Structure 1
Amino acid sequence: MSISYSQSINNDWENQLVTQQNKEKPHATLFYDASGKDVTSLNGVWDFAFYNYVSEIPSNSIPEKWDKIEVPAAWEMQGYGLPIYTNITYPFDKNPPFIGGENGNPVGIYQTEFKVDNIKDKEIYLRFESVSSAFYLWINDKKVGYSQDSWSPAEFNISDYINKGKNVLRMQVFRWCDGSYLEDQDGWRMSGIFRDVYLVEKSKVHIKDYFFTSDLNQNAASFGLEVDLNESDNRKLKNYKLGYELSDNNGKIISKNTESLNAFKSFSDALKDVNRWSNEFPNLYTLKIKLFHKNELIDSIKSKVGFREIAISEKNELLLNGQPFIVKGVNIVEHDPIYGKHIPKDRLEKQVKLLKRYNINTVRTSHYPATPYFYKLCDEYGILVIDEANVESHGMRYGTASLAKDPTWEQAHVERIEAMIHRDKNHPSVIFWSFGNEAGNGVNMVAMQQKAKEIDTSRPTHYHSSEAPISFDTYGGGIWKNGKRHSFGRYQSVNDMIYIGKMNLDKPFLLNEYAHAMGNSIGNLQEYVDVFEQYPNLIGGCLWDWVDQGITRHVDGSYGNKIADIERAHDGCAIPGSDYYWAYGGDFGDTPNDGNFCMNGVMMADLTPSSKSEEVKKAYQEMAFNLIDIESGKIEIKNKYHLTNTNSFDFVWTLLRNGKVQRQERFDLDIMGRSKKTVTLPSWESIKHNGDEYILQISAVLKESTSWANAGYEIAFEEWIIKSDASKKSLNLAFESNPETEASENKFIVGSANTRIIFNKKSGNIESIFKNNNPIVEGGIALSFYRAPIDNDKFLVKSWNSVQLDSLIVKVDAFETEVINGNAIVTIRKTHKGNKRINYIKTVEEFRINNDAEIKNTLSIEFIGNNLPNTLPRIGYEVKLLNNYNRATWYGKGPGSSYRDRSTGMKMGIYSANINELFVNYAKPQSNGNRSEVRWLEIENLINRFKVSSTKPFNFSLQNYDIQDIINAKFTYQLKENQYSILHLDFEHGAIGNGSCGPMPMEKYLLKPSIKTYEMHIKL
């Protein structure tokens, strides 16, 4: 159904010049819950009526019948309307400021009751922390006002509308309004009351706003405190006094004052020996502001504040408390898999603890201000915040139609940054004001900069646009220099960053989005961090993004509040083939949609960490270790923390011999922040090289428990592989008597007393392997050059499919056998070719099999043609095992998955896991679970086992699904276990890169098609 535009400027919600009616001015957050005596939470079960179209709303806005709905939560997660996931395309027809199109404009009418026992000499407010996208408010059937801006508070003084006792609150919420043109953020489009609703009862004169600022000077500091009251008539303030107390963490008052006042009052003081706030030591002080009338306390607020300074140096470095600081950050999109755009407080705190555990020091609130409680947590735990205004008009693009260039939209732009700054200005964790994201550039951005500086000069501003006029303090995307635009756009490569680092820019550069973490991803992260640390004007970056925006769903269609057992549902989402799964765009029949482009988190949707998380933790760690001399055990340790001494950690060095722990010692270190020291490992003895492989690992773990991790939690590590002759040894087979052989027209069988290996001459493959008359290989062993495409392969898969790596036709050119010197030798020559291209692959496979059930495989391979892919997915074998072969033990990188360009977060060692633990259940099934740097691998069931090794490190994966099984599944519930256990033995496996939204894998990690030779040894 197509809905025509009203084209009527009379609709407030289709008029960019009408952004609010009767709303209070924005001010600082004064509370985070309803624990105060003057604050009452109105959260709970409300009456609700839903309409698909504005035209269906009753003329008096009072429904004939009511349903029930939970507040806060998105109404789409409670059975009303559809969640829509779209990145850039508006979910309505693009014709600002009007709303129309096939999705209509749904409206929800909410109603609840509240009581006010005393209204005499009171000012009563209603505060909505977040309502999307616009709403009218009535109290007792009297219209109070109107608001839009989905992610900023809407506060109304309802004193003139209420009665003593029972009152009725009703609101009419529009899913979309003209403001939605500025809310085109990449994410689920949902509606309703997302955050807390409060009733606030204040004295007639009360504290309305305050602003705490600090100035640091060596160990001393000064501060300023500005306080606003709701009353501006000086004649009415004659008998009032205003005071404050500032206390340290022990409750000791370090500064206080009380004075008579006018409508506005400011205080200041100079202090000695203050404890500065930083991400490492988030020292907070308690500020109490008190208002007295005739010496009677009538109003007070209590808040945590910090002494912190953020600045930009002459070298365009970012300085935190005077020291150069590198942003090691992530973007966080507010999303909960059950409640949608409402984030429960326990989830918020869990997120912040995980940020600390994974060495993430900064969050960008993409792409709108976060819920107020989040900033309180960031203040307490020590997470820096790039606070982003609710401005993105990506769907309008950046040309003449950009709303940033249209002066009639200036008010809408400016009010959003004004609301954010006033709300969050007292949080020491906030270090940047960001104008928004992908909203073009123009006069309205200039106006935002002017407003930001008018309110707060203590923090720099940020924006990513590369277009003139440049109206911000730090670059975040493209660059404008010497009148020329440098078109780096977004998601720059490592080489781009090196180029930018050398450009001698006039502003710092913050890579505010990079390393797009969609599906199986985050390649070459360490290289980005290395570049950040090399160039002072590259002040860091924020990964995109923190958590998968999946919606927990059951195959029966239920989701949101229809999920009865949330824990069971989330456990199910981790299991391939389960009836529970993470839904993404399009699964609800939502249009437009961008599929699984919302599934790009470092964490899974339920905040479960993954191998991606471990890679981030390693790259972002604040220690560096350099092996100076292995003989004497000398290591250089660099402490990259600013203030944290290494005596906060226990250090452990471990020596592995062929993967097994040979020695381990614990020791202490005393290295101040931003310092380094060369140390000799205690009790170190030089290694006697005897052909074994040794690995030295060093680890730093928390000495004492913190608010976010227990004692013993590893915060940094490094390892070095000490080369040995083991990797150079040839895999020669022992020989005694010749093995038995048997040949027919189509088969060639090699056997011993307890083993039979059957070759199929027609296919040129091993068809099956038996041991003790029990099958090991049932479905054959075949060369494999393809993988189920990962999200980052979307620009590579075209080149792979063009040469039909996914469907190669194999021709056996020769099948030769001989028995010599105790070995049966099978040599198979093949041509692998697509039926449409002249490119092809020539392979020669030699299998040497002795009487002791050992197989030595040599593979020679040549890629021939002029249009070969630049990089390959894999080179190896697919082995279809009996399906009860379900456990792997290996010596290599682990315990999680790893790849040639994502392995630094894993450690070398001997690991064991079952087939389910080896699978990574990405929301959109794709190639996963590779283990790299493998020296040997053992696969077993309850009866048999076999072992694989190689002259060079190899890769493996063991799963219940073959490549086609994974390709065929759009969602995880569609994964059906194969009749075989699928073992991939890859001599080499391709890089994963960042190509879903960013650069291809780095050149050094590409798996180039060329002439190659490999060896592998299998002991049955």
Structure 2
Amino acid sequence: MTEISPETGTDLDYITAVGPSEGTLPPRASTPVTTADRVDLNGTWQFRLSRSAVEAERRELAPDSGDWKDIQVPGHWQLQGFGDPWYTNADYPFPVDPPRVPATNPTGDYRNEFIWDKPVEGRRWVMRFEGIESIGRIRLNGVLLGITRGSRLEQDFDVTDHLVPGANLLEVRVHQWSAQSYLEDQDMWWLPGIFRGVSLLERPDGEIGDLFVRADYDADTGAGTLHVETTAPAWISCPELGVTGRLTGETIDLASVDPWTAETPRLYTVTVVRAEETRTLRAGFRRVEVRDGNLLVNGRAVQLRGVNHHEFHPERGRAVTPADLEANIRTMKQHNVNALRTSHYPPSAHLLDLCDEYGLWVLDECDIETHGFLHQDEEHGEWTAPWKSNPSADVSWKPAYLDRMRRMVERDKNHPSIIIWSLGNEAGNGENFAAMAAYARRRDGTRPIHYIDDVACEYVDIFGQMYTEFARLDEIGRRVDRIDPTATADTAQDIARRKLPYIITEFGHAMGNGPGGLLDYRELFEKYDRCQGGFIWEWRDQGLARPLPDGRIEYTYGGDFGEPVHDDTFSIDGLVFPDGSPSPGLLEFKAVFAPIRITVATAGDTVHIRNLRDFAALDDVEFRWTVAFDGVEEASGVLDVPALPAGESATVLIPETPQREGECVVTVTAVTRAASRWAGAGHEIAFGQAAGQRLNPAPATVPSPGLTPVDATRTASITLGPARFDAESGALTALGGLAFTTPPRLDLWRAPTSNDLQVGQDTSAARRWLKANLHALDHTTLSVERAGDQIRVLTRVAPLARSFGVHVDALWSLTEDPEEVRLQLTATPFGAWPYTWPRIGLRFAVPAAYDSVTWYGYGPGERYPDTRSATRLGLWSSSVTDLQTPYVVPQENGARGGLRHLSTTGGVLRLEVAAESEFGFTARPWTSEELTAARHHWELVPGPETVFTLDIAHDGIGSAACGPLPLPADRLFPRATQLRARLRTVRS
């Protein structure tokens, strides 16, 4: 048991103490199923909030004021009506003056009166707190038990001698800020309170004590060894393995075992028995090692297709339930996620149980991050002396660092899903981390160690950084990287580091519309054996729910609660939205990192199937094929594919299909044969598709030599078949019976994405676009000419106050169809353009009644230059409302690409657009300007128009909010472009 310092409880020094917890029992493995009793203390407690620790002390000494209110435990007080949340990414929300914290330190007093009627003789009782932020002072029946430190770590107190029959009073004082807050700057909402469970655990005299299971596996022979350590000798049994009546402490050799992997999460039930207690746990046999420059599990190099997982719920914050966590795991498995990093702290032990059962590789991370020290240098200014006064290099903090590491390792050591220990995140370097690594190796040498800020890899086993540029990743993959990128010669440390595997701890920043470039990352992961994948930042948008007056729910981010210092929208960077629904980014992840590669031959007669799994064969997968012409399915079936072992591939014939007019598209999907815990039968894992040659591509239209200028002073409008144009501007104002509320004209603007804005980065595409005034374009008609069957309009489109622009040549022609016109639009930039364009396209609007669309092209979801893997060619229909992606922070969204045909209906008339060149479309109930101005999705209100843009091209998405820009091939640098299309209206 850790001792309680004499000062604790007599003054407030414990708040700024830098040491570990006080009064707690030594940590032990998370409690498996046991015959020992457990009493749940969760539920409705009494609560009182004080503005400071001093005020809380003063109120405690005064007569009871009767101002106690109900609160739910587990939970955060700020999410139950007591104060407001505060979000920061890296900065501390208080002055950086360790170990001191502000005098205005919100302090919550909890009390819970419970009835005790359990026996005490012959056993001891332990009170467990699974999570208190920031620290908790614990009293039972007026007796001080101790202080919790380490917000996301279990703390146990022996309460045997302090329980009394009948009513017992538990009092917990929680301070929002403490010295420990300097170690918990972890890119999330600061949410104090008792946010994980509280319970009483029976420990019988002669109990088993701590329990450590080592289940090793030899991939060469298939044999395993089982070694179980307990505090007191006990008997082991595992009938599945033929193990009965064996003593703990022995190494049991097993001739054959089924190994545990993330693809085949085989668990064996092991029972450990003493006369006083029986425990049951699930053991998984596997071996993790770093060898020959790779991270190996069971002798094979694994590829981590992972996500960073914060525990978060939009209404309960980090007070997540087992059901919340299981829903997350199921969604991950359904979208081909195979790995999870517990950013940036040990999670609920229940999450790790689920990872064992469902099958996920886990990087378990210690509860340490001191990010706010990165730019502190009062003498010389910011950025010049990083990490000044950082606790990581201060020996006085070493006991706290070691305590956090010890508690994580001891609690989580029996989980087969955990294959890597992480010392923490973004906390600089220092001897305290070296000491943590040494402890982990002594206690558990079966898992390699990771930490991003040990750049020289002096005490870690894996080289891992975040947001690596593509060129740098290529260099690392070729094993020619240097610790100092500016160096011209190798050092011994360079050479040593190159022998380690590389894992990107964070990449593909999933903030808003994105992340882009996942396919580029995958290609590098597959090209170089050293690059073994990584973890997307992050799993879920951390948007707190707040009801609006009209009953709708808004999701909030930094600054929405009046925080004077915050990191704005950086909490909104997940692959799933706050409510847990998948974003387009998660669908892109699923497609890019699918464990099965399906490549349909261009001719559509064969398909190449490659098993990219690390261990499992494809005997659980069925392959289905369809053939469609212009989006209409004509034939389908099931392919006869062998049960390919991991890493193997085969080419399979697709049955001969009927021939029809139109574009032939062959699609092959891989689906689950049977239902599992995480998906039903028929769940799609991967797909591949090939489209035949589009028939009869239209030739370019040539301007008639007989074109003559239109005299706008004599006529207000001119007609061309079913089309009517404004004579002065040349704008198309009506087609058939449809009047355009906004005539078509060239558009270069898009509402900046979070990645365009690049908040906090040195450069910003959005700032450059705004500086170029691309949001303020002048459209000046230079000439309007016509001949019998053509109208030609030349326009200069240029930003205000700038000397560069675009010449637009719009040639309108009649076709064989009397209800139709053809448009050939050529856009040619002039002048010295300084940067990329956001987009280039033709924008127009029709009445809001045109609120549904059908299109033949890529769908059903959005598609951009570097986020295109999840969409497929087909015939799709949607309301305009459902075309919008409801990003918490409004931004460019909803583009569909590869358009062949588009129609929109507004009642009597239907507008149809047939593509004769490569372009896509967006359709919105608001304008790009309204989308740009809105700060929350709920602020967007449908207007009187449906706004369409026929998108010739878009700038790439990338992940520059916290990562690299799109690659040059995906950038929209100013260039001559063309759009060719036929437009007509018909009666619905």
- TM-score, normalization by structure 1: 0.88
Instruction: Name the amino acid aligned to 2:287.
Output: E
Alpha-carbon distance, 1:507 to partner: 1.1
User: 499, 511, 525: which is aligned to 2:518?
Assistant: 525
1:788 aligns with 2:766: no
User: 613, 618, 623: which is aligned to 2:586?
Assistant: 613
1:433 aligns with 2:421: yes
CA distance 1:466–1:271, shift in 2 (3 Å): closer
CA distance in 1, matches of 2:620, 2:394: 54
Correspondences of 1:761-910 after superposition (within 5 Å): 761-762=728-729, 764-766=730-732, 768-769=733-734, 771-772=736-737, 775-794=738-757, 795-816=764-785, 818-820=786-788, 823=789, 825-849=790-814, 852-869=818-835, 871-910=836-875
Corresponding position of 2:975: 1010
Corresponding position of 1:246: 238
Corresponding position of 2:152: 151
Correspondences of 1:977-1016 after superposition (within 5 Å): 977-1016=942-981
CA distance in 1, matches of 2:831, 2:402: 58
SS at match of 2:590: helix
Corresponding position of 2:677: 707
Corresponding position of 2:379: none
Q: Tell me, yes or no, if the aligned pair for 2:216 and 2:224 is still in contact at 8 Å.
A: yes
Corresponding position of 2:364: 387
Alpha-carbon distance, 1:221 to partner: 0.6
Instruction: Name the amino acid aligned to 2:407.
Output: A
Corresponding position of 2:183: 182
CA distance in 2, matches of 1:36, 1:999: 53
1:719 aligns with 2:689: yes
Corresponding position of 1:480: none
Alpha-carbon distance, 1:993 to partner: 1.2
Unaligned runs of 5+ in 2: 1-6, 375-385, 481-497, 758-763
1:345 aligns with 2:345: no
Alpha-carbon distance, 1:696 to partner: 1.9
Alpha-carbon distance, 1:744 to partner: 5.6
Corresponding position of 1:597: 570
Q: Tell me, yes or no, if the aligned pair for 1:16 and 1:408 is still in contact at 8 Å.
A: no
CA distance 1:152–1:136, shift in 2 (3 Å): same
Q: Tell me, yes or no, if the aligned pair for 2:36 and 2:203 is still in contact at 8 Å.
A: no
Alpha-carbon distance, 1:853 to partner: 2.8
CA distance in 2, matches of 1:862, 1:81: 56
Alpha-carbon distance, 1:439 to partner: 0.4
CA distance in 1, matches of 2:664, 2:457: 58
Q: Tell me, yes or no, if the aligned pair for 1:647 and 1:668 is still in contact at 8 Å.
A: no
Q: Tell me, yes or no, if the aligned pair for 2:304 and 2:339 is still in contact at 8 Å.
A: yes
Number of corresponding residues: 934
Instruction: Spell out, residue by residue over 1:839-898, the C-alpha distance to the aligned partner (whole angstroms, 9 max, x if none).
Output: 2222222222468231211222222222421x2211111111111001111111111111
CA distance in 2, matches of 1:746, 1:247: 95
User: 288, 306, 329: which is aligned to 1:310?
Assistant: 288
CA distance in 2, matches of 1:745, 1:783: 27
SS at match of 1:444: helix
Instruction: Name the amino acid aligned to 1:228.
Output: T
CA distance in 2, matches of 1:191, 1:112: 22
Correspondences of 1:587-736 after superposition (within 5 Å): 587-627=560-600, 630=603, 633-684=605-656, 692-726=662-696, 728-730=697-699
Q: Tell me, yes or no, if the aligned pair for 2:666 and 2:689 is still in contact at 8 Å.
A: yes
Instruction: Name the amino acid aligned to 1:623.
Output: I
Alpha-carbon distance, 1:179 to partner: 0.7
Q: Tell me, yes or no, if the aligned pair for 1:442 and 1:468 is still in contact at 8 Å.
A: no
SS at match of 1:266: coil
Instruction: Spell out, residue by residue over 1:87-126, the C-alpha distance to the aligned partner (whole angstroms, 9 max, x if none).
Output: 011111110011017x634334333324133122220110
Q: Tell me, yes or no, if the aligned pair for 2:364 and 2:422 is still in contact at 8 Å.
A: yes
Q: Tell me, yes or no, if the aligned pair for 2:125 and 2:160 is still in contact at 8 Å.
A: yes
SS at match of 1:1016: strand
Q: Tell me, yes or no, if the aligned pair for 2:735 and 2:984 is still in contact at 8 Å.
A: no
Alpha-carbon distance, 1:129 to partner: 0.8
Alpha-carbon distance, 1:785 to partner: 0.5
CA distance in 2, matches of 1:1011, 1:662: 39
Instruction: Name the amino acid aligned to 1:555.
Output: L
Q: Tell me, yes or no, if the aligned pair for 2:369 and 2:427 is still in contact at 8 Å.
A: yes
1:97 aligns with 2:99: yes
Unaligned runs of 5+ in 1: 1-5, 230-240, 260-264, 293-297, 478-489, 557-576
CA distance in 2, matches of 1:760, 1:439: 66
CA distance in 2, matches of 1:827, 1:942: 31
Corresponding position of 2:75: 73
Instruction: Spell out, residue by residue over 1:399-448, the C-alpha distance to the aligned partner (whole angstroms, 9 max, x if none).
Output: 34222111111111111111111110000000100011100011111011
Corresponding position of 1:128: 129
Q: Tell me, yes or no, if the aligned pair for 2:602 and 2:692 is still in contact at 8 Å.
A: no
Percent pairwise identity: 28
1:961 aligns with 2:926: yes
Instruction: Name the amino acid aligned to 2:471.
Output: N
Q: 843-852 vs 662-671, which deviates more?
A: 843-852
Q: Tell me, yes or no, if the aligned pair for 2:956 and 2:966 is still in contact at 8 Å.
A: yes
CA distance in 2, matches of 1:46, 1:677: 59
CA distance in 1, matches of 2:800, 2:937: 32
SS at match of 2:259: coil
SS at match of 1:618: helix
CA distance 1:36–1:759, shift in 2 (3 Å): farther
1:55 aligns with 2:32: no
CA distance in 2, matches of 1:1005, 1:326: 26
SS at match of 1:533: helix
CA distance in 2, matches of 1:468, 1:635: 45
Alpha-carbon distance, 1:151 to partner: 0.3
Q: Tell me, yes or no, if the aligned pair for 1:519 and 1:924 is still in contact at 8 Å.
A: yes
Corresponding position of 2:212: 211
Q: Tell me, yes or no, if the aligned pair for 1:634 and 1:678 is still in contact at 8 Å.
A: no
Corresponding position of 1:266: 249
SS at match of 1:923: coil
CA distance 1:742–1:863, shift in 2 (3 Å): closer
Alpha-carbon distance, 1:942 to partner: 1.9
CA distance in 1, matches of 2:154, 2:445: 23
CA distance in 1, matches of 2:831, 2:770: 15
Instruction: Spell out, residue by residue over 1:169-214, the C-alpha distance to the aligned partner (whole angstroms, 9 max, x if none).
Output: 1110111111110000001110101111111122123222111112
Alpha-carbon distance, 1:12 to partner: 4.0
1:491 aligns with 2:467: yes
Root-mean-square deviation (CA, aligned residues, Å) is 2.4
CA distance in 2, matches of 1:346, 1:1013: 52
Q: Tell me, yes or no, if the aligned pair for 2:740 and 2:847 is still in contact at 8 Å.
A: yes
Instruction: Spell out, residue by residue over 1:562-585, the C-alpha distance to the aligned partner (whole angstroms, 9 max, x if none).
Output: xxxxxxxxxxxxxxx973221111
Corresponding position of 2:485: none
CA distance 1:153–1:442, shift in 2 (3 Å): same
CA distance in 2, matches of 1:805, 1:60: 60
Corresponding position of 2:41: 42
Alpha-carbon distance, 1:782 to partner: 2.1
Alpha-carbon distance, 1:679 to partner: 3.0
Corresponding position of 1:87: 89
CA distance 1:15–1:274, shift in 2 (3 Å): same
Instruction: Name the amino acid aligned to 1:591.
Output: P
CA distance 1:110–1:893, shift in 2 (3 Å): farther
Instruction: Spell out, residue by residue over 1:752-775, the C-alpha distance to the aligned partner (whole angstroms, 9 max, x if none).
Output: 5xx45232624x432x32544xx4
Instruction: Name the amino acid aligned to 1:162.
Output: L
CA distance in 2, matches of 1:634, 1:814: 53
CA distance 1:829–1:578, shift in 2 (3 Å): farther
Corresponding position of 1:573: none
